[in-house]
Amino acid sequence: MAIVNILQDFPILNQVNKDGKRLCFLDSAATSQKPETVIESMNHYYRTMNANIHRGIYQIAEQATEAYEKSREKIQEFIHAGSSREIIFTRNTTESINLVANTWGKQNLKKGDLIILSEMEHHANLIPWQILASDKGISLEFIPVQENGQLNLSEYQRLLNLQPKLVCVSGMSNVLGTVPPVKQMAVDAHKAGALFLVDGAQMIPHRKVDVQDIDADFFAFSAHKMLGPTGIGALYGKEALLESMPPFLGGGDMISKVFLRSFTTNELPYKFEAGTPSIAEAIGFGAAIDYLNQIGMDAIWQHEVEITKYAIQELQKVPGLKIVGPTDGVRGSAVSFTLDYAHPHDVAQILDSEYICVRAGHHCAMPLHTRFSVPATTRASFYLYNTLDEVDRLKTGLEKVYHFFG
């Protein structure tokens, strides 16, 4: 399947407004659009096998259970996990990271212990550790972000000498597009005796991920960033670690036996999946992975490299525009920028009048914006369904902003 011929697969992207302009969606870092196959896979579940899983012995319940667990296996294969037991369904990346903080963190960290993060982390990979630090008296230290948007890896090495227990870093910045060398960072973390967690929400939609090659101890991600539905995500954890961790939530399906005053936990992965799960969404998650596999992650990455390079080249021609983050080298497809004569919210509103969707604000990364001394940025983020023509539309829209404000 050619990347250039897939727009018809996404119903929403064929919308045309009253002025005859086709929807130009440049906010995939916030959430991606869904192909017809994902939408229909969820409809098929509700229409043909809507039943709870892991309990019923009647035919449609067994069909639903099989479809749900097949999606887990697809995720395992997609990220090259060693076993489907290492794939925990959660609501999203945020819940996945909170799960680790509230189980492994509470069980294994004590007052005075250190966690290393970076200045570019999304709030989802920052606040859970702040809460834990407040509760347990542990310390947080941060890898600085340099002016070019790259992590200061020399400072990372210095921080590792402080003997941290855990390193948590984004696999790709949702603001800067920065792609840290997570494989080498994991090697260095393990040499220092620390576990290594990757916030993979922005990484996994765009590049091949092999959690065993990275040697990540935990890897968290969301379906809705990678063509899947909202309300479901996953946590990968090494099996031995997951086995040693206490349960996160209590209730049905995460138990083996229950007595009035005690219980025993279920086996992995169900130990961490309390209550009726998001069954239709899990099935949609699996359909999204099928779609990504059909196109190929290498093809998606190369497509985005071309679009992002062109976007940076063209956007820098807009008067007063400054890109926040790397402008060359290996980087992701989230391009954030400021205009010295217009607030990001005004920029987004004018672009919306052209039926162009971009994000304006701090993108759940307020400390990173503080680092660059800007209250907010405008962000255009590209994905497999975007085209060079849409970059041209964005540039034209920004020129309209310039003529209005500049």
**Alpha-carbon gap, residue 130 to 218, rounded angstroms:** 18
In whole angstroms, how far apart are CA 389 and each of 4, 170, 207, 330, 351?
11, 30, 23, 23, 15
Whether 57 and 71 have beta carbons less than 8 Å apart is answered as no
Whether 125 and 351 have beta carbons less than 8 Å apart is answered as no
Q: H/E element holding 46?
A: helix 36-48
Q: Is 25 exposed, middle or buried (0-12, 13-18, 19+ CB in 10 A)?
A: buried
**Alpha-carbon gap, residue 326 to 323, rounded angstroms:** 8
Tell me phi and psi for residue 286, to 5 degrees: -65, -40
**Exposure class string for 193-210: b at 16+ Cβ within 10 A, else e:** ebbbbbbbbbbbbbbebe
**Alpha-carbon gap, residue 47 to 314, rounded angstroms:** 47
Tokens of 197: 């967690």
In whole angstroms, how far apart are CA 121 and each of 72, 279, 297, 381?
27, 30, 24, 17
Tell me which residues are annotated as active site: 364
- Work out the end-to-end distance of the chain between its first and last CA atoms, rounded to an integer number of angstroms: 43
**Alpha-carbon gap, residue 197 to 293, rounded angstroms:** 25
> Of 368, 393, 383, 289, nearest to 30 (Cα)?
383
Non-local (6+) Cβ contacts of 71 within 8 A are: 282, 283, 285, 286, 289
